Amino acid sequence: MLVTSRSYAEYEAMFDLKVLPESVLDCCAGGAGFTAEAAARGVDAIAADPAYAKDHAELVDAVRRSLPATAGIVDEHRGSFVWHWYGSPERKDQHRIEAADRFLQDVAAAPERYVAAGLPELPFGDRRFELVLCSHLLFTWADKYDLDWHTAALRELIRVSNAEVRVFPLVQQGAGAPVPWMAELLGRLESLEGVTTEIRKVPYEFQAGANEMLVVTRT
């Protein structure tokens, strides 16, 4: 799986973030620039990803190798992507290159913010983070991870959140096929005590039609 590097601006749009709360977890953060930028704004921001178990040189290599690889996916499924948010392929590349640089600087300067961990088990206490974000793992890889895995992963993200979990996108990678068991998954989450779910529109779109996030609220 690619260790991609979305930018803070991409996260802001994908998750329709306005004001950040006191603490945020980005899981699966990969090479994203979100945690570095959020921490610079005074937020208690932590990134989790199994890729952080790599040594520094391997991580740099994985992040750098993933930059051109994402363009390959877009080329393969050309008709399935829209460009109104980015404006052009060059501007998308610029987001990713700058985010990768920001991530690599921060992971070297503040390694304590980057925790090697993978769903469905995270090494954080119950209700540790006000907000938990998950970009391009859940649903994206629904061909690889099934309904039961997603249920376990979301239960774990809910466990470590004190208020909200947000997940984007809600479609599969590449051509953006819908997730066949989405309704069943939402039903399972709704049956948990104190948990409500909502599908909410966001101001970001790249895979055509993928302009919604899942918001899970914990009361």
Ligand X SMILES: C[S@@+](CC[C@H](N)C(=O)[O-])C[C@H]1O[C@@H](n2cnc3c(N)ncnc32)[C@H](O)[C@@H]1O
Q: Which is nearer to ligand X, 5 or 172 (CB)?
A: 5
Q: Which is nearer to ligand X, 6 or 188 (CB)?
A: 6
Total of chain residues touching ligand X, rule CB under 6 A: 19
Near ligand X by CB under 6 A, which window of 84-92, 131-139, 180-188, 196-204?
131-139
| CA angle at 158 for the pair 153 and 161, rounded to the nearest 5° | 130
Question: 163-193 b/e with 16+ CB inside 10 Å = b?
Answer: ebbbbbbbbbbeebeebeebeebbebbeeee
Q: Which is nearer to ligand X, 23 or 139 (CB)?
A: 139
H helices of the chain, in order, are 8-14, 34-40, 56-76, 89-109, 147-159, 182-190
For β-strands 129-135 and 114-115, DSSP reports them as unpaired
Structural contact between residues 144 and 36, judged by C-beta atoms closer than 8 angstroms = no
Smallest distance from ligand X to CB 30, Å: 3
Question: 8-19 b/e with 16+ CB inside 10 Å = b?
Answer: bbbbbbbbebee
Near ligand X by CB under 6 A, which window of 46-54, 83-91, 154-162, 185-193?
46-54
Which residues ranging from 105 to 124 are in contact with ligand X (CB under 6 A)?
A: 118-119
Q: Which is nearer to ligand X, 113 or 136 (CB)?
A: 136
Q: Which is nearer to ligand X, 28 or 158 (CB)?
A: 28
Smallest distance from ligand X to CB 77, Å: 15
Q: Which is nearer to ligand X, 31 or 188 (CB)?
A: 31
Does residue 27 bind ligand X (CB under 6 A)? Answer: yes
Smallest distance from ligand X to CB 171, Å: 14
Residues 20, 24, 25, 28: which binds ligand X (CB under 6 A)? 28
Which residues ranging from 143 to 162 are in contact with ligand X (CB under 6 A)?
A: none
- 118 CB burial (10 A radius; 0-12, 13-18, 19+): middle
Residues 135, 172, 207, 211: which binds ligand X (CB under 6 A)? 135
Smallest distance from ligand X to CB 180, Å: 21
Backbone angles phi, psi at 172, to 5 degrees: -80, 160
Residue whose tokens read 């540790």: 128
Dist. CA 62–CA 66, nearest whole Å = 6
Contact positions vs ligand X (CB under 6 A): 1-6, 27-30, 32, 49-51, 118-119, 135-137
